[in-house]
Amino acid sequence: MEFPKEYFQGEYREGFFVSEMMKRAFASQLEVLDAVRNICTKHQIRFYAEWGTLLGAIRHQGFIPWDDDIDIAMCRDDYTKFTQVAPNELPNDYQLITVQSSTEHNSLIARVVNQSGMHLDDISLDTLHGCPYVVGIDIFVHDYIPRDPNEQNIQRTLISLIETVLQQLAHQIPDELIAELIEPIQEVTGVTLPKQPSALIHALHQLIDRIGAMYQPDESDAVSIIQDFTAGRFPATPINWIHPTIDVPFENTTIPVPNQYDCILRRKYGNYRTFLRGGSSHFYPFYKDQAKLLASELEAGHIKLGEKYNDTICDSLHFAKDIVPIEKDSFCDIIRNEFYYVDKSSIVSQIDMPKYQLFVGPRRFGKTLLFTMWTSHECMIWVENMRNDYHLGLFRGLTAETIPQSEQSTSLFGLSFKLKEQKTFADFWDMLQKDLRYLLNGFPVLRESDRISDEIKQKLQYYCDTEVSAEQFPVFLTNYLLAYYMQAGKPLCILIDHYDTCLQLAYLNGYYDEMSAFFDALFDVVLTPSQAITKVIINGEHFVGRDTFFKRHLDSLKIVSITDRTYDRYLGYTEQETKALFTHFALADYYETAKKWYGGYRFHDAMLFNPWSINNYIMALQNGAKKPFPFWTNATAHSLLKDAIFQNYDSIRSDVDSLLSNQAITCQPCVEIDYTDLYHDHDALINCLYQSGYLTKTADNPDGTIAVKIPNHELYLFFKELTSAN
């Protein structure tokens, strides 16, 4: 394939900097796609874009800027044909890797890769567009779902049984327990399974693949990734939604997509036209581990690079060092995957967490990360009688390593409303119900325990399989969890994340009453005193009105915001932390620019930097960016606030002029936000700008008001754009 020279230049796409090396990786992947397409065309094999590639093809006409791989799908009969012909027809060095062909591949996702190891000589790199890393594309198998519901249940039961064993094998368990676990699988399937854990894990994945292939096209009207279907994550896709496919632009080529791509994307992502960063299933960039290995080998002098691409490749090796986390807000994921972590773990000893807390503060300033860190330290995560050792060692080298962990056998249940902003309540509820079903089907121990009556189990299964009201399911689920864990003697810590992200869009789109009723039902359960609940942490951007779903619980609910001292220095990066971060990545010369663009916040006493923008700026600099960019204002979806500003700009015009002249204005700080007030109350709108992170405090006034101003150049550009738009 031919690419113009300018294609390989690093660039900002939708506020995300895509590096030169990532562009070269894009091109190399498109070569693999072209090889797959040639085989499929020759043998009349159908394939089509899937997951982020489908979304990118429709929304971006190419890769999603913060995604980095290509996903395609084939129906089972096409996939079977492809696996038969591809090994002999793929270009030299290309490999097809499947669960059936490779004992090291424990995934039902097949891969076509362009080489078995990195190529570093100039001749090879010329054909790989200067990308030394092994790249490939993922092939998802869409299996035929039988029309007969009884046969569906058999398939679902078999795979759920296998998944349960795989969950248990993630722990070190005795051989006799392994034999006990696999006995019913062997009896039902007639397959003799190996006893050695690593061989057994692979054999079980192969068995799931075979169970998925049980049915043929004439027995089915719909297809699905079999594990998604059996887990209840997504309903099966009608075959006539997929075929015939249509070709759409993708980077400098085209890619086939299902003819009913809009229906498929809405089912998976809801309001998919809205750009929301996050949700990737892997860590960016995909070649992180290869870069670490390459850097190590170069440093040891074991290998040499050709002259032509030496500088380009060496410039990409910053990923050999730990990376700033720009998409992940899970403490466990960040630590386990060796991302740079700004150590906030001292909070576990300095703050006595109240039983019921609502913590509100600006988006993307680290609230979720803070509380996933706290819960990782304070909660023991249990599956039946086994401790989840995934959390062990997380605090090695951090401040909290020397702080004793809780000995109480507490379980954690988290429910996040991030990425749930939808234009209709039906779409919101559909997405949330998929997540809840996936949760329940993913932990069959909750459905099989003898601690819960058969009647309750049947009701739970009914809720998993049937469309029910938005108020019914979360209330029943929460009560079910409480009953299960209370009888197990392991009280729950409940973390509800981003509770108000969907409320704002609900207000804009006319379904606020429905959304409010949903949260009213949910919070009535989790905020009602119970021996089964040890703590409830609710995390959001705003405290939405006292006359809403919190009204019955205000006496017991502690509300903490950026106006309080409680989390001073724990939200955002301090000056010391930011300097250390830039020094760590050998970017100290850029600190002053970062301070001008992304610093200047003062929530209580500490001077802080915006962590989202700092992380993105460091990654952009590592990738070769020459200029800073307004990362936070381009990634934070404040549709309601921006709409209120637009509707009432005349009332704040003089304030905006003062702010742009570097003058402070005053407001009455109030953690409570009433959406209606934003449209007719000047003070409410200014306060909301402050609470949301668009303005920052400069002084406390004697009359109880505070002086606020624009904190940095990123926000200066935001307010400057307001003047031109109005």
pTM: 0.88
Annotate 255-320 with three-state secondary structure. EEEECCHHHHHHHHHCCCCCCCCCCCCCCCCCCHHHHHHHHHHHHHCCCCCCCCCHHHHHHHHHHH
590 inside domain: yes
> How much is the pLDDT for 433?
77
Q: Are strands 136-146 and 110-113 parallel, antiparallel or unpaired?
A: antiparallel
For residue 219 the two structure tokens come to 């027995």
Instruction: List CB contacts of 433: < 8 A, sequence separation 6 or more.
Output: 467, 468, 470, 473
Same domain for 26 and 89, yes or no, is yes
Same domain for 349 and 491, yes or no, is yes
10 inside domain: yes
Q: By CB neighbour count within 10 A (0-12 exposed, 13-18 middle, 19+ buried), where does 238 fall? A: middle
Rounded Cα gap, residues 227 and 562, in angstroms: 43
Q: Helix 649-660 and helix 682-691: axis angle, to 10°?
A: 50
Q: Which among 442, 420, 52 is positioned nearest to 264, based on CA atoms?
A: 52
Instruction: List CB contacts of 365: < 8 A, sequence separation 6 or more.
Output: 571, 572, 610, 611, 612, 693
Same domain for 592 and 540, yes or no, is no
315 inside domain: no
Instruction: List CB contacts of 176: < 8 A, sequence separation 6 or more.
Output: none
> How much is the pLDDT for 387?
45
Same domain for 397 and 429, yes or no, is yes
For residue 444 the two structure tokens come to 């069959």
Rounded Cα gap, residues 122 and 125, in angstroms: 5
Angle subtended at Cα 326 by Cα 420 and Cα 344, rounded to the nearest 5 degrees = 100
- pLDDT tens digits along 661-715: 999 999 998 888 899 999 989 999 999 999 999 999 999 999 999 999 999 999 9
- Map residue 10 onto helix, strand or coil: coil
Same domain for 126 and 267, yes or no, is yes
Of the residues 612, 634, 656, which one is the last residue of a structural domain? 634
The DSSP code for 108 is S
Residue 268: which domain range?
5-140+237-272
Same domain for 477 and 591, yes or no, is no
CB atoms within 10 A of CB 99: 20
Of the residues 528, 560, 592, which one is the last residue of a structural domain? 560
Query: Contact, 593 vs 393, CB < 8 A?
Result: no
Same domain for 628 and 642, yes or no, is no
Same domain for 593 and 707, yes or no, is no
- Residues of the chain with pLDDT below 70 are 276-282, 319-322, 380-392, 406-409, 438-449, 451, 460-461, 463-471, 473, 486-488, 636-637
388 inside domain: yes
Query: Contact, 207 vs 221, CB < 8 A?
Result: no
For residue 389 the two structure tokens come to 């050792």
> What CATH number is attached to the domain comprising 380?
3.40.50
298 inside domain: no
β-bridge mates for residue 533, sequence order = 492
Angle subtended at Cα 434 by Cα 431 and Cα 438, rounded to the nearest 5 degrees = 145
Same domain for 604 and 712, yes or no, is no
For residue 346 the two structure tokens come to 């001292």
> How much is the pLDDT for 384?
46
For the chain, what is the domain count?
A: 5
657 inside domain: yes
Query: Contact, 118 vs 134, CB < 8 A?
Result: yes
Same domain for 223 and 242, yes or no, is no
Same domain for 479 and 586, yes or no, is no
Rounded Cα gap, residues 678 and 98, in angstroms: 55
620 inside domain: yes
Of the residues 230, 251, 281, which one is the last residue of a structural domain? 230
Query: Contact, 583 vs 602, CB < 8 A?
Result: no
336 inside domain: yes
Same domain for 127 and 182, yes or no, is no
